[in-house]
Structure 1
Amino acid sequence: GIRSASLIHRETNIPLSTIYYNIDKLKQTGSLKHRDENRRPRVLGGKEKKAIGQYIRYNNEITLNEIKENLSKMHHKSVSTSTISRHLHKYGYKNVVPQSTHMLTSDEKQRRVQWAKKRINDDFNNTIFTDEFSFQLFRNTVRRWTKNPNQEFKCSPKNRQKVHVWGAISVKGVFTCHTFRCNLNGSYYVSILEDYLLPAATRE
């Protein structure tokens, strides 16, 4: 093999200082492997990993900086947010914007439970459920990374538009759906039933 440091440098572009260091190491130890004491200790130990899991379960809206501060205060451990982020991703966590959903009051929840209990033995083979929902356009929910948060703006129209969706389902799956932008009143709802629900039910 090649034994000249300068030739190895020309062939591999490895810095000469690195080559000489490894040659000396090979002469002294007979190996190029790193000794165990030279390895960097793990930044996150078992206690810190357990603590992070508890933070997430207690408050899944906690930020990386808050986790970092908690580890510093409670465990006297200095850990970077990037290390915490890698740990959470390793265990399947993702930082996402939650989807919007209707907020039910305690009374609404209770009435839904009672309705389900009352009809637990009903036959729904000939039943169709319908509902409608509105999606607001130009919602500013996308996060950004920046060094100047106060200078980050997202243009949006003064009057934000909405898209309404009406849909129908049964035990057989999705029946049909319809999108519209006008206000849903009685006459328009009847037209939806006539133009979309009845034809879909007839096909089934």
Structure 2
Amino acid sequence: MTPTSNLKNHHISILHYWNKGIRSACVIHRETNIPRSAIYYNINKLKQTNSLKHRGGNGRPRVLSGIEKKAIDQYIRRNNEITLKEIKEKLMKTYHSSVSTPTIHRHLHEYGYRSVLPKSTHMLKPDENRRRVQWAKQHENDDFSRTIFTDESSFQLFRNTIRRWTKYPKNESKCVPKNRQKVHDWGAVSVKGVLTCHTFRCNLNGPYYAYILKNFLFPAARR
């Protein structure tokens, strides 16, 4: 007997009349309004297997085998910057598989992977991290209402185009080294908001920093 929890509504109705001894498709159709073709099909299934459970195996076979799916996950864990084309070549070389890149992409999407462009973050040494935490702890109770903070940052003139596969797109970042092809930006902020900023291309040395303070910081602070 087929458990009714695994059946659809029309299966349950057909099985109900079958168990009552009604074998006529016309009678079942008249009582349930289920299409005759569906009734004939399920009655034949009951005669052959005494069950209405889906037999399975009649759908399109999976293109990727289980071992190939595991291999794809391993490729990404070892190198999450690998491309779809490289995954395809590895599968072809190792498993002689002719799977297409769209199929690989669908598999990765199904398992939660996304192709993202990681955010660039600074390369801080352990000692730099330690000194920053130490300074924050020493000044956590200071009054910064009359304090101005200034800092400089550099921006590359080309964007990072190396994408990564990840299940956590918002947490994906990549450390990048310094590069000469960039512009620099100096800015000042306080508890009242942004005071001013200045963009430049030359190296920031002592004389130029004094020029920035005189021509940008002091006028903004007075305002």
Q: Structure 1 length normalisation: TM-score?
A: 0.53
Q: Which residue of 2 aligns with 1:119?
A: 139
How many angstroms does 1:113 deviate by?
Answer: 1.3
CA distance in 1, matches of 2:193, 2:107: 40
Higher relative contact order (CA 8 A, sep 6+): 2
AA matched with 2:141: N
Q: 1:192 aligns with which of 212, 215, 220?
A: 212
Secondary structure of the equivalent of 1:94? strand
CA distance in 1, matches of 2:200, 2:184: 5
Quick one: which of 96, 107, 116 aligns to 1:95? 116
Which 5+ residue runs of structure 2 have no aligned equivalent? 1-35, 39-54, 163-179
The alpha-carbon deviation at position 166 of structure 1 amounts to: 0.8
Q: Any gaps of 5 or more consecutive residues in structure 1? A: 1-28, 144-159
Q: Secondary structure in 1 aligned to 2:210?
A: helix
**Identity within the alignment, %:** 65
Alignment partner, residue 129 of structure 2: 109
Deviation, 1:108, is 0.9
* Equivalent residue, structure 1, for 2:105: 85
Structure 1 residues 88 and 122, CA, compared in 2 at 3 Å: closer, same or farther? farther
CA distance, structure 2, for counterparts of residue 173 and residue 57 of structure 1: 43
- How many angstroms does 1:42 deviate by? 5.0
* Equivalent residue for 1:135, pick from 128, 131, 155: 155
1:169: Cα distance to partner?
A: 2.5
1:167 paired residue number: 187
Does the C-alpha gap of structure 1 residues 169 and 67 become closer, same or farther in structure 2, counting only changes over 3 Å? farther
Are residues 174 and 87 of structure 1, via their aligned partners in 2, closer, same or farther at CA, if it must alter by over 3 Å?
A: farther
Aligned-pair distance for 1:121? 2.1
Q: CA deviation at 1:125?
A: 2.8
Q: Cα gap change, 1:140/1:195 in structure 2, threshold over 3 Å: closer, same or farther? A: closer
Please give the root-mean-square deviation of Cα atoms over the aligned residues, in Å: 4.0
Residue 182 of structure 1: aligned partner: 202
Contact 1:88 1:94 in 2 (8 A): no
How many residue pairs get aligned? The number is: 152
Return the index of the structure with the highest Cα Rg: 2
CA distance in 2, matches of 1:119, 1:62: 44
Residue 127 of structure 1 aligns to a residue in which SS?
coil
